[in-house]
Amino acid sequence: MKKIFFLFFLIAFNYSFSQISINESYTSQELIEDQLIGNPNFPASNFITSTGTNFGGVNGLAAFNSNGADIAFNQGIVLSTGNVLSIPGPNTSILNEGGMSWFGDSDLETITAVNSTRNASFIQFDFVAQVEAVSLDFILASEEYGIFECQFPDTFAFILTDITTGVSTNIALVPGTILPISILNVRGGGNDSCAPNNEVYFDRYNYDTTSATANPDFVLPQDSSINFNGQTEVFMLMGDLVIGNNYNIKIVIADALDNLFDSALFVRRSSFGALPTMEQEPSDIVIQDTDNNGNSVFNLRINEAQMLGSVDTSIYSFDFKYYTTLADAEADTNAIVNPEAYTNTSVLETTYVNMRNTFTGTRITIDFKIATDATLLDV
């Protein structure tokens, strides 16, 4: 059987200018529970946030609504090293709004080995692991891109700590590497002083970069929906869990080496949650063709209980869709309308099923066979 994890979202960008809106009214718990998690039954507790207002400075934590702007997510939360109210575009000013009295974060420095951080914003909470993995989606944006992307490693981390064992892990790594995602490790070549680095994960610059040798993608500053010089593609992070253990997740971003040229994380609303996993793969289904016309009626849903296994469906919500081709399953189009009573079109077919978290939207795909004669499965 073929199992596919959908790790990235395909985004169709419209480069016409739109104004995003910022909402600072949420409490720490509301920002995490309602905006980041979304699932009201998710077992989260001990909500903590910190930003510039804790040090007599500006606020770097808020919810946002894209209002159609091209920042990949319609809604979510933003963590900034400066003033969140200055984030909406166009990209016509330099953001240097974190003061020297706004401290950095020691946990971030320890886990990334980046020293002298300033202007740290973070959210954190505890939860009990009742599934094998969690995931969330984000993009990184920064004023450092282009001008200072070769030397100033504004940094962040998604620190997952197993409270039971005391082991902490930064799950914000460049895919397939052990490198933390950062300005230095993901850049597009907008500065001729250094080569592009993991540019497949860099989206674009928000100012004219035609003078750069690498000729990277860009939009004009007046067309940028956010007031940052550059932004990454969408990352989907995954953290493996031990069921039954207690965990803490800390999402933190900070300026490095100085308090200038702000950076921000945009995290998709309702994206933190259980990554779909199938406890048992679906079985092949055989319905004997008793009238020898080549067709039988199949209930494709009979495997859903075994796929869910011991998942507590009062806490986690998953749905299933069925398809006749892998291409349709990957694109989530042309789902079988009535999977409880599907009539086959050939005596042996491969059927594809998507298992999707109804809150986060993440899904996995696996196939199984349906046949009108058990001997056909051996072919």
258 with 121: CB under 8 angstroms?
no
Same domain, residue pair 65 and 204: yes
Instruction: Tally Cβ neighbours within 10 Å of residue 195.
Output: 12
pLDDT of res. 116: 86
Looking at residue 237, its pLDDT comes to 94
**Cα angle 215, 218, 222; round to 5:** 140
Last residue of one domain, picked from the residues 228, 244, 274: 274
Query: What kind and span of H or E run contains 160?
Result: strand 155-162
Residue 379 CB-density burial (10 A; 0-12 exposed, 13-18 middle, 19+ buried): exposed
Same domain, 270 and 148: yes
Q: Is residue 316 part of a domain?
A: yes
- Is 63 in the same domain as 163? yes
Inside any domain, residue 175: yes
Range of 316's domain? 285-378
Distance (Å) of CA 302 to CA 286, 294, 336: 12, 21, 15
Residue 279 domain flag: no
Q: Which residues, at least 6 apart from 267, have a Cβ–Cβ distance to it below 8 Å?
A: 36, 73, 76, 77, 78, 79, 136, 137, 138, 251
pLDDT in tens, the chain (379 residues): 444 444 433 333 334 446 899 999 999 999 999 999 999 999 999 999 999 999 999 999 999 999 988 889 999 999 999 999 999 999 999 998 888 899 999 999 999 988 889 999 999 999 999 999 999 999 999 999 998 999 867 889 999 999 999 999 999 999 999 998 999 999 999 999 999 999 999 999 999 999 999 999 999 999 999 999 999 999 999 999 999 999 999 999 998 877 779 999 999 999 999 999 888 999 999 998 888 887 899 999 999 999 999 899 999 999 999 999 999 999 999 999 999 999 999 999 999 999 999 999 999 999 999 999 988 887 6
User: Are the C-beta atoms of residues 123 and 267 closer than 8 Å to each other?
Assistant: no
The answer to whether the CB of 127 falls within 8 A of the CB of 245 is: no
Would you say residue 80 lies in a domain?
yes
Residues pairing with 267 in the sheet: 77, 138
Site of tokens 């999977």: 339
Domains held by the chain: number: 2
**Does 231 fall in a domain?**
yes
Among 221, 248, 274, the domain boundary falls at 274
Q: Which pLDDT score is estimated for 260?
A: 79
Contact 276, 364 (CB under 8 A): yes
Same domain assignment for residues 339 and 197: no
pLDDT at position 8, please?
37
User: Token pair 């020691």 is at which residue?
Assistant: 106
Answer yes or no: do 225 and 167 share one domain. Answer: yes
Let me know if residue 280 belongs to a domain. no
pTM of the predicted model as reported, rounded to 2 decimal places: 0.90
Q: Which residues contact 46 (CB under 8 A, 6 or more apart)?
A: 124, 125, 126, 248
Q: Does residue 358 sit in the same domain as residue 223?
A: no
Are 99 and 240 in a shared domain? yes
- Indicate if 267 and 366 belong to the same structural domain: no
Is the same domain home to 143 and 243?
yes
Q: Which residue in 191, 120, 106, 121 sits closest to 151, CA to CA? A: 191
Q: Which pLDDT score is estimated for 379? A: 64
Same domain, 150 and 290: no
236 and 354 housed in the same domain: no
Q: Looking at the domain assignment, is residue 130 inside a domain?
A: yes
DSSP codes joined into one string, 332-345 = T-S--S-GGGEEPS
Q: Which residues contact 378 (CB under 8 A, 6 or more apart)?
A: none
Nearest CA among 278, 288, 249, 251 for reference residue 357: 278
Are the C-beta atoms of 298 and 326 separated by less than 8 Å?
no
Q: Are 264 and 122 in contact (CB under 8 A)?
A: no
The strand pair at 318-323 and 342-343 is best described as: unpaired
Examine the fold and report which residue of 274, 306, 327 is the final residue of a domain before the chain moves on.
274
Do 79 and 227 lie in a common domain? Answer: yes
* Residue 128 included in any domain: yes
